[in-house]
Amino acid sequence: MFELKPFRKRKHALSAESQKLKMRIYQEHERFIYYYALKLSKTEDNAYMLVSNAWHFLMQKADELKTIMDDTVRMRSYIASVLHHQWQHMQRDMALKSKYDALYHQQNMASSVTPDAGEEAERRMRNQQVLQAVQKLPGNYRDVILMRYFEGRSTEEIAAHLGLSPASVNQYVKRARENLKTILIEDGVVEEGYDYE
């Protein structure tokens, strides 16, 4: 089966009442949650990720769960809908990741340069180096940079997509840009003091 582990990325303190609710859901519905997640995702790795995302969502909605906790049919229906929606989000994220992986691969494969296109070749090479540096960023930082600068999404759109506040997104963008600048300097793409605006 699966182990109930504390969230790695989400460090929310749970009250004693929330902890009891969590344990009750775990004891009564653990097999249903795991097997339904496995049925949706078809792989164990995705099922574990799906269960983790669903647990996070369920714990955020603890007040709603208290009212339906004693009705097994309604509770399982609610859990199934949460798992289904979380799976849709995961599929969309995986499709987005594969799109960027394809773009990254395409950028690596495009190496045809003509003599009279020196500036274009230099720009492509710089873009390729920046894409490689973006790929080296940790997960959330990479996602924020890709959504902000490659997709052109606003802070509010990124916040809604990642389930964060706009202030947190701005902080992620700031830290991601600092990390990206450090990587670019270490790789020798830019020099110290380079303004990457």
49-107 confidence digits (pLDDT tens): 999 989 888 888 877 888 888 898 999 999 999 999 999 999 998 888 888 887 777 77
What value does the mean pLDDT take over residues 3-14? 50
pLDDT exceeding 70 applies to what percent of the chain? 83
pLDDT digits (tens, 9 = 90+) for 159-179: 888 888 888 889 988 988 888
Domain spans, the chain: 16-92, 110-186
pLDDT digits (tens, 9 = 90+) for 106-138: 776 655 444 555 677 777 777 788 888 888 888
Residue 3's pLDDT band, with cuts at 50, 70 and 90, is: low
Residue 142: pLDDT over 60: yes
pLDDT exceeding 90 applies to what percent of the chain? 19
Residue 59 CA: distances (Å) to CA of 74, 77, 149, 184: 17, 16, 33, 40
* Mean pLDDT of the chain, nearest integer: 81
Whole-number pLDDT of residue 123: 76
Whole-number pLDDT of residue 126: 78
Whole-number pLDDT of residue 7: 47
**pTM score, two decimals?**
0.48
Whole-number pLDDT of residue 14: 57
Whole-number pLDDT of residue 82: 94
Residue 139: pLDDT over 70: yes
Looking at the chain, list the stretches that DSSP marks H as alpha helix, in order from N- to C-terminal side: 16-41, 44-60, 62-68, 72-109, 118-136, 139-145, 155-162, 166-186
Query: Who wins on pLDDT, 24 or 116?
Result: 24
Nearest 5°: the CA angle 82, 40, 67 is 20
* Cα first-last separation, the chain: 49
In the chain, what's the furthest Cα-to-Cα distance? 74
Residue 1: pLDDT over 60: no
Q: Report the alpha-carbon distance of residue 12 to residue 185 in Å, rounded.
A: 35
CATH of domain 110-186: 1.10.10.10
What are the backbone angles phi and psi of residue 70, rounded to the nearest 5°?
Answer: -80, -15
Q: Report the alpha-carbon distance of residue 162 to residue 145 in Å, rounded.
A: 13
Q: Report the alpha-carbon distance of residue 197 to residue 149 in Å, rounded.
A: 11
Q: Which tokens go with 61?
A: 């909605």
Buried b (16+ CB within 10 A) or exposed e, 105-135: eebeeeeeeeeeeeeeeeebeeebbbbbbbe
Residue 141 CA: distances (Å) to CA of 8, 108, 135: 16, 22, 10
Q: Which tokens go with 87?
A: 């799976």
